Copies of this chain bind each other. A is one copy, B any other.
Amino acid sequence: MSLPQPGPMSLVPFVSVETMMQLILRRGLEPMLIDLAACIEEDFRRWEQFDKTPRIAAHSAEGVIELMPTSDGRSYGFKYVNGHPKNYQTGRQTVTAFGVLSDVETGYPVLLTEMTILTALRTAATSALVAKYLAPKGAKVMAMIGNGAQSEFQCLAFKAICGIDTVRLYDIDPEATAKAARNLQGKGLNVVSCVSGQEAIEGAQIITTCTADKQFATILTDNMVGAGVHINAIGGDCPGKTELHRDILTRSDIFVEFPPQTRIEGEIQQLPEDHPVTEFWQVVTGATPGRTGDRQITLFDSVGFATEDFSALRYLNDLIRKDASVQMLDLLADPDDPRDLFGMIERYGRASQPA
């Protein structure tokens, strides 16, 4: 008697880390960042269709574990993501993630995927998309402060989506800068390694900060930032973790993803609850202007929002439907009679006994 095989409804496609790398290499990193930015833009444009809630965070002394669900009424997606700044000391990632996309009509998952790499991609695509709307026209130079796991993705997204041709790298750890500079060689960018944040921002029209300390830090002080720049602040993303001096915030026009979440987690946790901010989706729909003047400082106070992960999940889901090489996981019980879960175990037991 042969063992019952998992039925088709029990199987969920799984994108492993290795599969994700294959998909990126096949499509090309920059084309994929452009694709992702287009999906993210589309979903910001239909922002009002989404169920939105601040992510559900479990904080501990060492870091945070978060669940980020959202739904457009047809699909439901969520991401599990952690942030543990000390993880690199044990050879681990500061941020790891995985995600699931489901069908709202049945509640059945249709995709399980690694999202450590995918989060780096969607974060970079979002940053560059926002800068496309807010950065000074003709911006060519970006300062990249913080040269960790996200930095190269950020640099290439700004190249592919905003036309940046020069990146000026700085990290408190020169080895991180050396690593990023090495990785960016031959990618069509002028790469300048700098020894201070001050040096990195010289001549930059865009300043990206992406550092990981879980504490109030001041990566940029007020006197460092001149008029007419766009700041892309992505490192400050949980309570007590910020990167910018408060005075920069009060001089800037601040754009955010979802205010209820950004008030808790973003740079603006340093400001009063009622400090005015603009929701980025309204810039995309044209309801609100983006950049209005040459000397304006625009600040994207990015914390990462569930709809961006949703966009990435639905993009990936479309991509793998064209790709037969994805592993299938026996994740869902699928008895012949849906009410006979018990009988399924019994039958499996009888079939697995020696004849």
Contacts and interface: CB of A to CB of B under 8 A. Distances in A.
Nearest to A71: B58
A354 interface: no
A94 to B, nearest CB: 7
Contact of A88 (B10, B120, B329, B338): B338
A334 B151 CA distance: 17
Interface string A1-44: 00000100110001011100110110001000000000000000
A211 to B, nearest CB: 12
Considering the complex of A and B, which 10 residue pairs feature the smallest CB-CB distances, nearest first?
Answer: A82-B107, A152-B342, A16-B330, A116-B333, A149-B341, A88-B338, A148-B339, A84-B107, A25-B349, A21-B348
Contact of A17 (B29, B58, B333, B343): B333
B332 A114 contact: yes
Given A102-B65, A348-B21, A16 B329 contact: yes
A93 interface: yes
Interface string A35-65: 0000000000000000101001010101111
A338 B344 CA distance: 43
Nearest to A152: B342
Contacts of A76: 58, 65
